[in-house]
Chain A
Amino acid sequence: MHIGRIDESATLADSWLHRVSPVSKLLAFALVLGAAVSTWNALVVGSLALALVAIAVSARLRWRLLLTLAGYPAVFALVFAFSAATSVLGGVTIVLKAVTAALAAVIVVLTTPYPYVFAPIQRIVPTIVGDALLMTYRSLFLLLEKFGNLITASRLRAGLTTGHPVRSARATTRALGGLLIYSFDLSQRSYDIMRMRGYEGRLHVTLPRSTDRRVDVALVTGALALLGVSLTWRLGYQALNPYSWVLPIVPVLAIIATLLTKEKAA
């Protein structure tokens, strides 16, 4: 799931979107998600996806990672569309919706270090849940590293059989078993450390401020506009549907403009 590379992109890279406050980004995400969910017009969803691509391009996100992450749900959406949709266009719309929602989420996590993605959520859920949520992500990195070691060791012991499904499955199972034991010891040690460091419940994360509030406002306004367009098209479909072809032009132009300015800058 490329957690390491997502984290790298969020913490080490920099762009205008990285500097927007996390709360604004989550708000914009919710609005775009709303736009994707409320429409059933393939051209509207397609335009939303293109608008997100424009944003990703302007933030210079690694497109290959972005496509892998957004493509994963597309595969499942395809299965779902195949089994549930009754027309081709309906199926296309289902896939596009999934990709749009995933793109929006992935853009947020690729530009926001995970503590800042989850801190706003942590503040609104019960303490034990919020703290465990933050501990999950922290544990994830420790476990991934350990798992990598275990699986290498396990494969080596099994005699390095890439491609042999049964042995490879056995190696993975063994590694997972070892990882489970390690996990519980880790949890015990974490508790020890929390106790030693005076943990009383409630982990605290200081959210960074936005460097330029105008950018935040622009982002949220833009997302609001997307939701507006989506809802307008849904409500006024009779008058507007013949003009749906106009919609994709705007994000396509934005993508071209971004690419051009990027080239000029380089």
Chain B
Amino acid sequence: MSHIHIPDGVLPLWLWVAGWIAAIVVVTVAGRIASRSEARRKVPLIGVVAALMIVAMSSEIVPLAYHVNLSVIGGILLAPALSAITAFIVVLVLAMLGHGGVTVLGLNAIVIGAEMVIGWALFHAVLRALGRSRAAIGAGVATVFTLAITTTLVVGIVWLGGAGEAAERETGALDPATMRFENPFAEGVFEFGLFGGKDHGPDDYEDGDEAGRYLSAGRFAAVVYTLGPAGWLIEALVTAGIIGYVARVRPKMVFEGPLAEEHHRIPGDESGGH
């Protein structure tokens, strides 16, 4: 659940605008840092990793609609500054394909970016403890913890937005006279039009702000923490498999980053071809 699959227009304005601002600041700073050295080499590198994550997200790992994100792998390989840029690009491209909202893009970039950076940090911490020979296990462990953390981050965002409660409150229109949000259903118009006069009046959800907030965020948390762990495990297994493989074939890439080695693999007759 690294993606916030929160539709456009559910979170309150201040929250997604704040997400956008935070993302812009992070990306600008990361862009500055990344441009300091070898910027030209990094452009295609970010491009392929972002593309790789998008390909992974678009291919089901089991015929059961679970897609991996490869964000921890991306993070391990790119280190924080490039990760932040990559996360932003990934969510931007996905949003234009209708996958993930545009308004929540900033928040999504923060969540995926956090996932990459935390994954990178945990992987290296675990490596220090376990040693390089256990790169695969390290990557798997790092992935589980990272996803648990970022899922909590998502739940936190939903809680901040007071998702359900906010939705209900803002279901009303802004009353220009009082500058307060009022519930339009009080008039009974939609109930009549859409649900044949079925009555669920305002009493259902005017239980006070805090109660509503805990209620809906709690339900959301219950859903993601139930569905989540299975996903974390799959992602961890995939991550471990891939990192294990790459650590065997190209150890430098995993332990020192892809910019460390300047290997030339020539397409065509001289390539070693693994």
Residues of A within 8 A of B (CB): 1, 3, 6, 33, 36-38, 40-43, 69-70, 72-73, 76-77, 79-80, 82-90, 92-95, 97-98, 101-103, 105-106, 108-109, 117-118, 121, 125-129, 131-140, 142-144, 147, 151, 163, 165, 168-170, 172-174, 176-177, 179-181, 183-192, 194-195, 199-201, 233-238, 241-242, 244-245
Q: Are A101 and B8 in contact (CB under 8 A)?
A: yes
Which residues of chain A have C-beta atoms less than 8 A from B101's C-beta?
73, 98, 101
Which residues of chain B have C-beta atoms less than 8 A from A184's C-beta?
45, 48, 250, 253, 258
Q: Which of B159-176 contact A (CB under 8 A)?
A: 163-165, 167-168, 170-176
Q: Are A89 and B10 in contact (CB under 8 A)?
A: no
Which applies to chain A's interface (DSSP): helix, strand, loop or mixed? helix
Q: How far is the CA of A189 from the CA of B31 in the complex (A)?
A: 23
Q: Are B187 and A242 in contact (CB under 8 A)?
A: yes
Known: A36-B9, A140-B54, A189-B267. A128 touches B34 (CB 8 A): yes
For the complex with contacts A86-B205, A89-B190, A139-B44, 16 further pairs of A-B residues with Cβ separation under 8 Å are: A36-B9, A69-B98, A86-B167, A88-B200, A102-B98, A109-B98, A117-B96, A136-B50, A136-B90, A163-B63, A168-B62, A169-B234, A187-B258, A190-B47, A201-B40, A235-B176
Q: Are B241 and A72 in contact (CB under 8 A)?
A: no
Known: A180-B242, A190-B44, A191-B44. A140 touches B55 (CB 8 A): yes
Known: A69-B97, A79-B5, A188-B263. A43 touches B190 (CB 8 A): yes
Which residues of chain B have C-beta atoms less than 8 A from A87's C-beta?
168, 200, 204-205
Count CB-based A-B contacts (< 8 Å): 319
* Minimum distance in angstroms from A109 CB to a CB of chain B: 5
Which residues of chain A have C-beta atoms less than 8 A from B195's C-beta?
88-89
Q: Are B48 and A181 in contact (CB under 8 A)?
A: no
Of B118-126, B127-135, B143-151, B215-223, the one with at least 4 CB within 8 A of chain A? B215-223
Q: Are A105 and B95 in contact (CB under 8 A)?
A: yes
B184-214 interface mask toward A, CB cutoff 8 Å, 1 = contact, 0 = none?
1101011101110000100011000000100
Q: Are A179 and B89 in contact (CB under 8 A)?
A: no
Q: Are B10 and A84 in contact (CB under 8 A)?
A: yes
Which applies to chain B's interface (DSSP): helix, strand, loop or mixed? helix
B26-55 interface mask toward A, CB cutoff 8 Å, 1 = contact, 0 = none?
011001101100011111111111111011
Task: From B90, B96, B216, B219, give the contact of A109 (CB < 8 A).
Answer: B96
